[in-house]
Amino acid sequence: MSDKNLVVHGVHKRLGENDILKGVSFELRKGEVVALLGPSGSGKTTLLRAIAGLDHPDQGRIALGDRVLYDSGTGAAVPPEKRGLGLVFQSYALWPHKTVFENVAYPLRLRKVPAAEIRTRALAALSEIGLDGMAERYPHQLSGGQQQRVALARAIVYDPDLLLLDEPLSNLDAKLREEARVWLRELIERLQISAVCVTHDQVEALAIADRVLLLDRGKIEQEGTPQEMYGEPATLFSAEFMGSNNRMPGTLAEVRGQEGRLTGEGWELWGKVRGAVQPGGPATGVIRLERTEIGETPADNSIQATLETSVYLGERWDSLFLAGPLRIRAWTPEPPSQAARWVRFPRDSLWIFPA
């Protein structure tokens, strides 16, 4: 296992007129997998390229263990091929005219490894990713998922200290992708390697990572374990980025301890106040759809509503209720009855953020 921590400190990057990264800092502990999550254009690829050395930040410092890879202060910049990183980019860019074996062997040839050792290590890497017996095929003779694995084999063949993955599963269809993320997590654990994995898919981030960094417009909005990110979002942006949610704009009428009373046109709900929101100020309530409940009678913290429609999604029903201007959805294992008139928001599950 690599015992090297990655330290990224104060990384700024300007491209053209725009500040793309605005002082990003984080640490990756040995053996840890971090998912870099964020909307399109938030700077994920830019940050990964800076770590890989494909681009240089305007400011900041990047170190792997005791080696400084980049330091804008001293001008130190280790070239990409000397950084000891394994890269897998979005389009996994296999060489079409090289066999699978030659694709995987390439990084070793580049490093002038003796031929006999190349053979052993490339075949071992292929075996590691479950592609025994495919060494002599060409990329076009493989499925998308298999090509993906070859790209990973090429990244791990020289025992990098760190894997950098940019949307490694994005070329796969939904079903394959779901299988691949479990497989990828298992591979990273087995190799006991550290990895930074970029994705804009929050489920993928939760599945793959020990820790999630959520990037918004070039800044880290929040970082935490998957459970913290999903269960304890610190901001409205984090809350809405993860999961599927109901959103209730209103006014914070009153605060009692950790709880607050959110009011809107003809409704009021109690929830947990998160962040600095003043009584009397605009606020937004957010609740996950799977926490939203449906009932036939009024209950604590509920709103009267009419059932507009319900769709069957296999393992759950997704129902839409209307209450004045509010559109409220709920996921339930059973279809709602025709008598369902009340939507309940358990107090612990409703978060109230500054609007």
Ligand X SMILES: Nc1ncnc2c1ncn2[C@@H]1O[C@H](COP(=O)(O)OP(=O)(O)OP(=O)(O)O)[C@@H](O)[C@H]1O
Interface residues with ligand X (CB under 6 A) are 15-16, 18, 20, 38, 40-46, 200
Nearest distance from C-beta of residue 87 to Mg ion, angstroms: 13
Nearest distance from C-beta of residue 47 to ligand X, angstroms: 7
| SS3 of the chain | CCCCCEEEEEEEEEECCEEEEEEEEEEECCCCEEEEECCCCCCHHHHHHHHHCCCCCCEEEEEECCEEEEECCCCEECCHHHCCEEEECCCCCCCCCCCHHHHHHHHHHHCCCCHHHHHHHHHHHHHHCCCCCCCCCCHHHCCHHHHHHHHHHHHHCCCCCEEEEECCCCCCCHHHHHHHHHHHHHHHHHHCCEEEEEECCHHHHHHHCCEEEEEECCEEEEEECHHHHHHCCCCHHHHHHCCCEEEEEEEEEEEECCEEEEEECCEEEEEEECCCCCCCCEEEEEEEHHHCEEECCCCCCEEECEEEEEEECCCCEEEEEEECCEEEEEEECCCCCCCCCEEECCHHHCEEEEC
**CB closer to Mg ion, 44 vs 341:** 44
Question: Binding partner of residue 200 among ligand X, Mg ion, none, CB under 5 to 8 Å per kind?
Answer: ligand X
**CB closer to ligand X, 41 vs 282:** 41
**CB closer to ligand X, 22 vs 327:** 22
Nearest distance from C-beta of residue 50 to ligand X, angstroms: 10
**CB closer to ligand X, 89 vs 351:** 89
Nearest distance from C-beta of residue 58 to Mg ion, angstroms: 19
Question: Binding partner of residue 60 among ligand X, Mg ion, none, CB under 5 to 8 Å per kind?
Answer: none
Nearest distance from C-beta of residue 309 to ligand X, angstroms: 32
Nearest distance from C-beta of residue 35 to ligand X, angstroms: 13
What is the binding site for Mg ion (CB under 5 A)? Answer: 44-45
**CB closer to Mg ion, 4 vs 44:** 44
**CB closer to Mg ion, 45 vs 302:** 45
Question: Binding partner of residue 43 among Mg ion, ligand X, none, CB under 5 to 8 Å per kind?
Answer: ligand X
